[in-house]
């Protein structure tokens, strides 16, 4: 059955941006992930717009718009708390461009093009769909609709060349397959297996962002497991790859990650996501209940994973270690009760206390009644009320 787009789900503010650009005789479309999600019954979290207007022209036409980016010049449009990215159609760099300019001072994405050229330079066919919400017209230059219908993640162009061009596409393709419950197209899967070592060339900040997106998936453990099966985990998370070589440790990690995603995560902030991942890792590699905060902070395996592989920021690391260190304090309720009111309020105001309470219950360190006691105490300070 051919996929149908949910027109009534489209953000009216995104439509308004498209309409303003079209009124000035520019082409403008919704593009990428938002179109894909509307076709697979997902509410888009973000809306991107592609247009024939140059960045400076967009800025003149659209109120509250700002030029961002150095390598990629984009326009960011603010509408209250929401933000929309508007990009100009681009084309890939050709051989004639190398002879016309100094290839070291120019990037292929600095070349403007038309909508079809913009489509073929994108990563996956399902991300190369352009939709005009005013005319209700879909532009599909890369057979993305057919791949959505067959639930296939297919890269545009030669898989090996496109992965080497940007190794992050390996992580993105696997993540998209799990997010959408799609399958990797056979030649893409083969290229990932044969040339996955190029992931070593990807810079840490971009890998960090992909890891966070994976951790926001419903079942991130399955994604990490497929990365292991495809033999690419060793090139981006070697510490986790080594852990997965031990089947018992692999099971502990996957079960803990799945459990904590369901019962302990109250938000999708990076600090919380990394905390859950790291706790699952040390539970599989080192028992966090039997090791002190100081020992954890000095652990070379954990430090390598956090700093060199995940790209955990200093403040995120501090929150993780404080969460682990506060768990013993929660076990002894009597000590808390004997504290003065001011010290109680100070203790309860720590942002990591809620997840520490969930971890203590998960580890069976105290009774459910103790968990409820702490939950009520924490909620009273944060202004929340339990029923």
Whether 102 is catalytic is: no
Confidence of residue 3 (pLDDT cuts 50, 70, 90): confident
Q: Is 240 exposed, middle or buried (0-12, 13-18, 19+ CB in 10 A)?
A: buried
Say which residue, 111 or 183, is predicted with more confidence: 183
Percent of the chain whose predicted confidence (pLDDT) is above 70: 92
Confidence of residue 70 (pLDDT cuts 50, 70, 90): confident
Q: Is 173 exposed, middle or buried (0-12, 13-18, 19+ CB in 10 A)?
A: buried
Angle between helical axes of 314-331 and 270-285 (0-180°, round to 10) = 60
107-116, 304-313, 368-377: least confidently modelled range: 107-116
Q: What phi and psi values does residue 16 have, to the nearest 5 degrees?
A: -65, -40
**Catalytic pick among 11, 37, 118, 123:** 123
Residue 96 has pLDDT above 50, yes or no: no
Q: What pLDDT is attached to residue 382?
A: 72
> Residue range 363-372: average pLDDT?
94
Distances in whole angstroms, Cα of residue 265 to Cα of each of 112, 117, 212, 259, 277: 43, 42, 14, 10, 11
Closest among 50, 27, 24, 227 to 121, alpha carbons compared: 50
Residues pairing with 65 in the sheet: 77
Q: State the Cα–Cα distance between residues 31 and 28, nearest whole angstrom.
A: 9
Q: What phi and psi values does residue 286 have, to the nearest 5 degrees?
A: -140, 135
Residue 105 has pLDDT above 50, yes or no: no
Q: What pLDDT is attached to residue 259?
A: 94
Q: Is 2 exposed, middle or buried (0-12, 13-18, 19+ CB in 10 A)?
A: exposed
Angle between helical axes of 353-362 and 270-285 (0-180°, round to 10) = 30
pTM: 0.89
Closest among 20, 37, 38, 36 to 28, alpha carbons compared: 20
53-67, 96-110, 290-304: least confidently modelled range: 96-110
Per-residue pLDDT reduced to its tens digit, 230-282? 999 999 999 999 999 999 999 999 999 999 998 877 778 999 999 999 999 99
Mean pLDDT of the chain: 91
Q: Whose structure tokens read 């996956």? A: 124
Pairing mode, strands 74-79 and 82-88: antiparallel
**Catalytic pick among 37, 48, 118, 147:** 48
Residue 94 has pLDDT above 60, yes or no: no
Q: State the Cα–Cα distance between residues 365 and 358, nearest whole angstrom.
A: 10
Closest among 269, 36, 25 to 148, alpha carbons compared: 36
Q: Is 6 exposed, middle or buried (0-12, 13-18, 19+ CB in 10 A)?
A: middle
Residue 21 has pLDDT above 70, yes or no: yes
Distances in whole angstroms, Cα of residue 198 to Cα of each of 160, 193, 195, 241, 244: 10, 11, 6, 16, 21
Taking only Cα atoms into account, the Rg of the chain, rounded to an integer number of angstroms, comes to 24
Residue 377 has pLDDT above 70, yes or no: yes
Confidence of residue 106 (pLDDT cuts 50, 70, 90): very low
Closest among 110, 131, 109 to 32, alpha carbons compared: 131
Q: What pLDDT is attached to residue 110?
A: 58
Give domain 151-236's CATH architecture.
Orthogonal Bundle (1.10)
Domain boundaries along the sequence of the chain: 1-150, 151-236, 262-382
Give domain 1-150's CATH architecture.
2-Layer Sandwich (3.30)
Residue 197 has pLDDT above 90, yes or no: yes
Residue 365 has pLDDT above 90, yes or no: yes
Q: What pLDDT is attached to residue 291?
A: 56
Q: What pLDDT is attached to residue 151?
A: 97
Whether 48 is catalytic is: yes
**Catalytic pick among 46, 132, 140, 370:** 46
Q: What pLDDT is attached to residue 274?
A: 96
Distances in whole angstroms, Cα of residue 138 to Cα of each of 11, 42, 131, 143: 17, 18, 5, 11
Whether 8 is catalytic is: no
Q: What pLDDT is attached to residue 2?
A: 72
Q: What pLDDT is attached to residue 73?
A: 86
> Residue range 126-130: average pLDDT?
98
Task: State the sign of the Cα–Cα–Cα–Cα dihedral 118, 123, 124, 126.
Answer: negative
């Amino acid at each position: 059955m051919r996929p149908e787009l949910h027109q009534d789900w489209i953000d009216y503010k995104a439509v308004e941006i498209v309409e303003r650009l079209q009124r000035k005789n520019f082409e403008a479309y919704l593009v990428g992930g938002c179109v894909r999600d509307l076709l697979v019954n997902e509410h888009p979290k973000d809306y991107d717009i592609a247009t024939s207007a140059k960045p400076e022209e967009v800025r003149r036409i659209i109120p509250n718009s700002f030029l961002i980016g150095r390598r990629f010049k984009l326009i960011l449009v603010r509408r209250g708390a929401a933000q929309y990215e508007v990009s100009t159609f681009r084309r890939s760099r050709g051989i004639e461009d190398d002879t016309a300019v100094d290839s070291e001072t120019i990037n292929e994405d600095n070349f403007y093009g038309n909508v079809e050229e913009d489509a073929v330079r994108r990563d996956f066919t399902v991300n190369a769909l352009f939709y005009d919400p005013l005319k209700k017209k879909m532009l599909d230059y890369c057979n993305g609709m057919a791949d959505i219908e067959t639930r296939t993640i297919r890269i545009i162009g030669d898989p090996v060349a496109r992965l080497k061009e940007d190794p992050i596409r390996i992580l993105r393709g696997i993540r998209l397959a799990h997010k959408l419950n799609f399958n990797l197209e056979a030649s893409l899967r083969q290229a990932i297996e044969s040339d996955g070592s190029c992931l070593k060339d990807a810079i840490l900040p971009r890998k960090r962002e992909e890891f966070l997106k994976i951790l926001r998936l419903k079942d991130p453990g399955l994604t990490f497991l497929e990365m292991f099966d495809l033999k690419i985990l060793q090139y981006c998370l070697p510490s986790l790859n080594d852990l997965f070589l031990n089947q018992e440790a692999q099971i502990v990690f996957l079960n803990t990650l799945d459990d904590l995603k369901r019962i302990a995560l109250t938000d999708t902030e990076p600090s919380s996501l990394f905390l859950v991942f790291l706790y699952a890792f040390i539970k599989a590699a080192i028992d966090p209940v039997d090791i002190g905060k100081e020992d954890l902070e000095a652990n070379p395996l954990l430090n390598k994973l956090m700093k060199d592989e995940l790209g955990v920021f200093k403040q995120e690391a501090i929150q993780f270690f404080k969460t682990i260190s506060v768990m013993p304090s929660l076990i002894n309720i009597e000590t808390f009760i004997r504290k003065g009111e001011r010290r109680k309020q100070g203790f309860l105001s720590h942002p990591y206390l809620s997840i520490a309470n969930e971890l203590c219950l998960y580890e069976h360190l105290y009774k459910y009644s103790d968990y409820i006691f702490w939950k009520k105490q924490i909620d009273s300070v944060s202004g929340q009320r339990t029923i």
